[in-house]
Amino acid sequence: MQVTDLKNPALRTWIQEWAELCTPDHVVICDGSKQEYDHCCNLLVKAGTFIKLDAPANSYHCRSDLSDVARVEDRTFICSTRKEDAGPSNHWHDPADMRQVLKGLFKGCMKGRTMFVIPFSMGPVESPIAKFGMEITDSPYVVVNMHIMTRVCSKVTAKVEAGAEFVRCVHSVGAPLAETQADVPWPCAPIEKKYITHFPETREIISFGSGYGGNALLGKKCFALRIASVQARDEGWLAEHMLILKLTSPAGVVKYVAAAFPSACGKTNLAMMEPTLAGWKVETIGDDIAWMKLGADGRLYAINPEAGFFGVAPGTSMKSNPNAMRTLDQGNAVFTNTGITMDGGVWWEDHDAAPAPMVDWQRRPWSPGCGRKAAHPNARFTVPAAQCPVIASEWEDPAGVPIDAILFGGRRASVVPLANEALSWEHGVFLGATMASEMTAAAIGGAGQLRFDPFAMVPFCGYHMGDYFAHWLKLGAQAPDRSRLPRIFYVNWFRKSPAGKWLWPGFGENSRVLKWIFDRCNGQGKAVSTAIGNLPSADALDLTGLRMTDEDTQALLAVDRAGWLEVLPQIEAHFARFGNRLPEALAKQLADLKARLEA
């Protein structure tokens, strides 16, 4: 299909205007076909960006530029008309001024390259919760990864042609090619020219200078979280940085759980967990993002808007996440910035295979003990979710799945117990708003200081977080039947003893906590009412077969009053950042907690 074949003038003009500014050699409207995927992979092999691997099947190794290995939060902007609408957690830039800057950068930026126009759906195309996007890009790497991570298809083009709304996404690696200039394996712009910009009022994303993950695959963090959080606020639903899992009891009863943890706290591992408790089953719906809407029956229904996993490779192993390893074994994956083994496979730190001489992520010779890491710590795999051996059969149900429990958590070596059930929806929102991890002695701020990441959304909320908290409170207040809303819990797998020993084994053993949560949602499961919430009583947690001392169990389930009282000033300072946009209900929750702790 040619641009001139497009019947919707809004779509056609939008593409033509960008093509005139960027001056690509060609413009291609993508259709999501296998031929298109293979063609882009071949282009990337020719360019030296991809190497076809011997194993797993139909998979590629990709290397990025040294300077382009992760999301760039300092270069990520929310361009709302009013600065105060972006709030204290975002970098704001005036939209008109930013458009001028971008116009200058995009002028001629696709010279020597092909402009791809990718029609994609976040969520199953027919789902009432799904939304559409169009991404213009000059990166075949983005085309390949969008094929895996979203639903790229001509059906979306047809729907947009028929008038469906879409989010306008524009991306360039920012590296035009002069007439005789040879390309490099990973074209990108220097850091000071990278701009990941969002225009929430007009639902637009414009990204320049980076080819990497969350900066370039615009369906993921930019759309499904930053822009979608604004759409969700305006339309009365929730766009969240949450995994979704299906939990089935030995009796065959099913509960759905959504969970928010900051990046690198094991969301993918939990979403694909192998329970150690006999008869229990965990299946995956999603590992990173949940879109949730109240259904006609008053329950909160969630879809995973993505179609693939963009997971961190280092640390992924048969011990930490066997189902992710099995997903990768099926092939059809892209491995970005991992090591390459001598027999044409991939390797990363903490992989199951023992390290042996190989080629590192920058394609240099590497041997164990050489003092460098073989994989970049943020090396990633991109793989279709459908290949996951524990993907739930209903993961693409257009209606979504009804959520029974929402979990929040962070990395807390002290004070916070293993599990805690919120006293109410408002208290649950307070738990989400005070999510935090402890900084280690290595980080500026020092040990014991908390880094707050409310709802794990600090890098991803497209508007003022005070208003975001208010939106959560409003959703609860307006629910037709509050007893049908999910119960909210706070979990902490990372508690340590004063001597620094992990108190909880984690991984598959977390199923014991899931079982208690399941029981609570079923109106069973014993809990002790405490100043901080409802905690499992020692006999309510199934610890059979675990070698835990009574002392450790007590420490995991105790209320550390003195510790909590010490933490309160940090929560006060955290809340103060939101100024007069902090909902009163949250200030009240804090005051109530203090009063309960002091009682």
Contact of residue 449 among ligand OXD, Mn ion, none (CB under 5-8 Å per partner type): none
Instruction: Find the Cα–Cα–Cα–Cα dihedral 489, 490, 493, 496, rounded to 10°.
Output: -140
Nearest approach in angstroms of CB 263 to Mn ion is 5
Positions in 488-507 near Mn ion (CB under 5 A): none
Interface segment toward Mn ion; rule CB under 5 A; list 41-49, 283-291, 301-309, 506-514: 283-291
Least gap, CB of 222 to ligand OXD (angstroms): 12
According to the binding rule CB under 5 A, does residue 240 interact with Mn ion? no
Q: Which residues pair with 312 in a beta bridge?
A: 380
Q: Does 214 bind ligand OXD (CB under 6 A)?
A: yes
Closest CA to 585 of 484, 466, 502, 486: 466
Strand partners, 26: 114
Rounded CA separation 548/589 (Å): 34
Only one of the segments 72-80, 158-166, 286-294, 561-569 lies at the binding site for Mn ion (rule: CB under 5 A); that segment is: 286-294
* Closer CB to ligand OXD, 30 or 265, in the complex: 265
Which residue, 78 or 590, has its beta carbon nearer to ligand OXD?
78
**Least distance (Å) between residue 307 CB and ligand OXD:** 15
By CB under 6 A, tell whether 508 contacts ligand OXD.
Answer: no
Measured from the CB atom, is 98 or 456 closer to ligand OXD? 456
How far apart CA 205 and CA 145 sit, in angstroms, is 18
Tokens found for residue 298: 């008053």
Q: Compare residues 288 and 519 and give the one whose CB is closer to Mn ion.
A: 288
Taking the least distance from each CB to ligand OXD, the nearer of 80 and 268 is 268
- The residue from 265, 388, 461, 521 that is catalytic is 265
Q: What is the rounded distance in angstroms from the CA atom of residue 20 to the CA atom of residue 107?
A: 9
Nearer to ligand OXD, 304 or 420 (CB): 304
**Residue closer to ligand OXD, measured from CB, 263 or 317:** 263
Q: Is 377 in the site for ligand OXD (CB under 6 A)?
A: no
> Rounded to whole angstroms, what are the CA distances from 387 to 311, 321, 582?
14, 15, 43
Q: Does 287 engage in binding with Mn ion (CB under 5 A)?
A: no
SS3 303: strand
CA dist 553 → 315, 336, 412 (Å): 27, 41, 16
Residue nearest to ligand OXD (CB): 263
Size of interface with Mn ion, in residues (CB under 5 A):
1
Among positions 8, 114, 248, 263, the unique one binding ligand OXD when judged by CB under 6 A: 263
Residue 123 · residue 167 · CB < 8 Å = no
- Residue 230 or 456 with smaller CB distance to ligand OXD: 456
Please report which residue ranges of 111-217 form alpha helices under DSSP H.
140-149, 154-161, 213-216
CA angle 545, 546, 550 (to 5 degrees): 125
Binding flags for Mn ion, 203-232, as an x/- string (CB under 5 A):
------------------------------
In the complex, what is the shortest distance from the CB of residue 486 to ligand OXD, in angstroms, rounded to a whole number?
22
Residue 288 touching ligand OXD (CB under 6 A): yes
User: What is the smallest separation between the CB atom of 382 and ligand OXD, expressed in angstroms?
Assistant: 11
The Cα–Cα gap between 553 and 393 comes to 36
Q: Which does 287 bind (CB under 5 to 8 A by kind): ligand OXD, Mn ion, none?
A: none
d(CA 316, CA 187): 28
Question: Is 265 among the catalytic positions?
Answer: yes
Residue 214 interacts, among ligand OXD, Mn ion, none and using kind-specific CB cut-offs from 5 to 8 Å, with ligand OXD
| Residue 348: CB minimum distance to ligand OXD, A | 16
Question: Which listed option, Mn ion, ligand OXD, none, makes contact with residue 67 (CB within 5 to 8 Å by class)?
Answer: none
**CB of 265: closest distance to ligand OXD in angstroms?**
9
CA dihedral 330, 336, 340, 345 (to 10 degrees): 10
Closest CA to 229 of 209, 248, 205: 205
Which entry of ligand OXD, Mn ion, none binds 174, CB below 5 to 8 A by partner kind? none
Residue number with CB closer to Mn ion (320 or 414): 320
Residues 6+ apart with CB under 8 A from 301: 129, 292, 293, 294, 295, 399, 400, 401, 402, 403
Min dist CB 432 to ligand OXD, Å, is 16
Q: Which residues contact 580 (CB under 8 A, 6 or more apart)?
A: 466
Residue whose Cβ sits closest to Mn ion: 288
Q: Are 360 and 366 in contact (CB under 8 A)?
A: yes
Least Cβ distance, residue 507 to Mn ion (angstroms) = 19
What is the torsional sign of CA 472, 474, 480, 483?
positive
Residue type, 571: I
Binding mask 219-258 vs ligand OXD (x if CB under 6 A, - otherwise)?
----------------------------------------
Residue 288 lies near Mn ion (rule: CB under 5 A): yes
What is the Cβ-side half-sphere exposure of residue 54, based on CA atoms within 13 angstroms?
Answer: 7
Between strands 487-491 and 405-409, the pairing is parallel
Q: Which residues of the shown chain bind ligand OXD in the complex (CB under 6 A)?
A: 214, 263, 288
Residues annotated as part of the active site: 265
Q: Which residues of the shown chain bind Mn ion in the complex (CB under 5 A)?
A: 288
